[in-house]
Amino acid sequence: MHIFSLILMTTFAAQAQEGWEAGVWGGGSWYFGDLNTTLDLSKPGLAGGIFARYNFNERLCFKFTGNVGKVQADDADSRNIFEQARNLSFESRVMDGTAEFEFNFLRYEHGSKDAFFTPYLAGGLTIHNFDPMTEYEGELVALQPLGTEGQFIGEEYKLTKVGLAYGGGFKISLSYEWSLDLFVSARNLATDYLDDVSGVYADPEDIEQFHGELAAELSDRSIDVLNVSAAEISAPGRQRGDASNNDTYVYAGLTLLYYFGDLKCPTYGSRKRRK
């Protein structure tokens, strides 16, 4: 509550510098979830998008972004022997449209010699779409239609969801028109199936009955690793993922922005009365 009050006070106290800026960004994307439990950053995917920001004043902004990236993970890269034995992997294209408020910690003005940089925080909502796939016999196979955790036909998880967006960055004005924005932005998803892994192993016979042999094959890809047997890992009812924590993906990148100039509100003065 105190932070919200501070933002409001700063907003009304700051000298207005209204205006739109727009640009493009490029960078990387990372996934964190059941197939990456150790926050491993070694497998980034390419990412990029478009960016539009409205500056209410020197402290408060509202931005819209359209983003696309790739996320991926593989149990073979894990240091956990049980995850190695689980032997699952996935990759997915992620797309989202995101709206966030930004708060500048320092006074920020385009083209200023004094207030030309600031760190900032951002938060808002995102609508995202994903489509987990895995490699099987040299080809990528879409996992969601296969019901790999025993979902019935028509009850598979949704591929489009709403989530929370939050992050921060550092912006610097190069001139009145041009600026750079270095940022990190996370998507806290309302699903645990970005990686197609969440709950427990289902009976492979049930999966094959409803979704076919390929679905049963891809639901359980466990292997023997040291003293951990595949049969022990994938028995029906055994844990396949952790449903208590939803998945997350993160963008990090650099944005080049063009500022279109101050937008001044019309001034309404007293008009001369007609005689």
Give the closest residue to 191 by CA, choosing from 247, 149, 242.
Answer: 247
pLDDT tens for the chain, 275 residues long, are 444 444 444 444 444 468 999 999 999 999 999 999 999 999 999 999 999 999 999 999 999 999 999 999 999 999 999 999 999 999 999 999 999 999 999 999 999 999 999 999 999 999 999 999 999 999 999 999 999 999 999 999 999 999 999 999 999 999 999 999 999 999 999 999 999 999 999 999 999 999 999 999 999 999 999 989 999 899 999 999 999 999 999 999 999 999 998 655 455 454 444 44
* Cα distances (angstroms) measured from residue 239 to each of 155, 228, 254: 20, 14, 39
Report how far residue 10's alpha carbon sits from residue 122's, in angstroms, rounded to the nearest whole number.
16
Report how far residue 31's alpha carbon sits from residue 251's, in angstroms, rounded to the nearest whole number.
9
Residue 9 lies in a domain: no
Residue 154 lies in a domain: yes
Residue 205 lies in a domain: yes
Q: What global pTM score does this model have?
A: 0.87
Query: What is the number of domains present in the chain?
Result: 1
Residue 7 lies in a domain: no
Report how far residue 187's alpha carbon sits from residue 136's, in angstroms, rounded to the nearest whole number.
28
Beta bridge partners of 118: 171
Residue 11 lies in a domain: no
Residue 127 lies in a domain: yes
Determine the structural domain holding residue 157 and report its residue range: 19-259
Q: The domain that contains 210 carries what CATH number?
A: 2.40.160.20
Is there a contact between 169 and 181 (Cβ–Cβ < 8 Å)? yes
Residue 66 lies in a domain: yes
